[in-house]
């Protein structure tokens, strides 16, 4: 049986055969692709790198790096911010005696283990919030009742002296005319 399709005649059975072959190829491609992905996923190792930075040291290092990053947002010019940030990152790595390759491999390991990374970030947030509360407490002046009394007395004295000077100004007017003094004989 033949059917007209855009001025050419194609047999329906050939079309069916062609579609069957294509669907088998698609299934086979997907099968092989999924098999390859499973093999690669199964071959990955979860071993710790030899030069892994310990969690505590990594937490302090990341805390310092986040503080540097927050400071770099305050710098107006992008070029100078990038330069300062890069130099500061290198200073922090040097401070903790870590090279960039060791930091990268450790960061990759911790990123592959999000439960460990989450725990580190929770500890970082706690330490940063404690640091912030400590700094805000130091910035806030301590309330002392005797100082408050002294300040109130000084303010009252200032107000009183201002009122007195106004009164004295009113009494001694610049345009006031002096009465001539007449002597009685």
Full domain range(s) for residue 69 = 55-139
Q: Residue 81 corresponds to which tokens in the numbers above?
A: 């911010």
Residue for token digits 């997907």?
A: 30
Same domain, 31 and 81: no
27, 60: one domain: no
What does the buried/exposed string (b/e) look like for 82-96 if buried means 16 or more CB atoms within 10 Å of the residue's CB?
Answer: eeebeebbeebbeee
- How far apart (Å, rounded) are the C-alpha atoms in residues 94 and 31? 49
- 66 with 39, same domain? no
Please give the chain's pLDDT, 185 residues, in tens: 444 444 445 566 776 676 666 665 555 555 555 555 555 555 555 678 889 999 999 999 999 998 988 888 887 777 778 888 889 999 999 999 999 999 999 999 999 999 999 999 999 999 989 988 888 887 766 666 676 777 777 777 676 655 555 555 555 555 555 666 666 66
What's the rounded Cα separation, in Å, for the pair 69 and 84? 10
Tell me the pTM. 0.51
Residue burial 12-22, b: 16+ Cβ < 10 Å; e: rest: eeeeeeeeeee
Cα 185 to Cα 182: distance, rounded to the nearest angstrom: 9
Q: Are residues 66 and 98 in the same domain?
A: yes
Please state the domain count of the chain: 2
Let me know whether 89 and 131 are in one domain: yes
Same domain, 68 and 112: yes
Specify whether 75 is located in the same domain as 129. yes
Same domain, 74 and 118: yes
Q: Are residues 82 and 25 in the same domain?
A: no
């Amino acid at each position: 049986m033949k059917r007209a399709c855009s001025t050419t005649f194609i047999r329906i059975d050939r079309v069916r055969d062609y579609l069957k072959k294509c669907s088998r190829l698609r299934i086979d491609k997907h099968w092989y692709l999924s098999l390859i992905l499973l093999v690669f996923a199964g071959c990955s190792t979860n071993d710790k790198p030899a030069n892994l930075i310990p969690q505590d040291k990594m937490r302090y290092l990341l805390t310092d790096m986040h503080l540097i990053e927050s400071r770099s947002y305050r710098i107006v010019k992008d070029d100078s911010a990038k330069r300062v940030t890069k130099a500061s990152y290198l200073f922090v790595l040097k401070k903790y005696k870590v090279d960039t390759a060791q930091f990268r491999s450790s960061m990759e390991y911790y990123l592959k283990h999000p439960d460990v990374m989450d725990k580190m970030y929770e500890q970082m947030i706690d330490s940063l919030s404690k640091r912030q509360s400590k700094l805000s407490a130091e910035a806030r002046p301590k309330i002392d009742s005797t100082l408050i009394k002294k300040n109130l007395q000084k303010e009252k004295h200032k107000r009183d002296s201002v009122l007195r000077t106004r009164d004295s100004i009113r009494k001694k007017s610049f345009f006031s005319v002096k009465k001539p003094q007449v002597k009685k004989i």
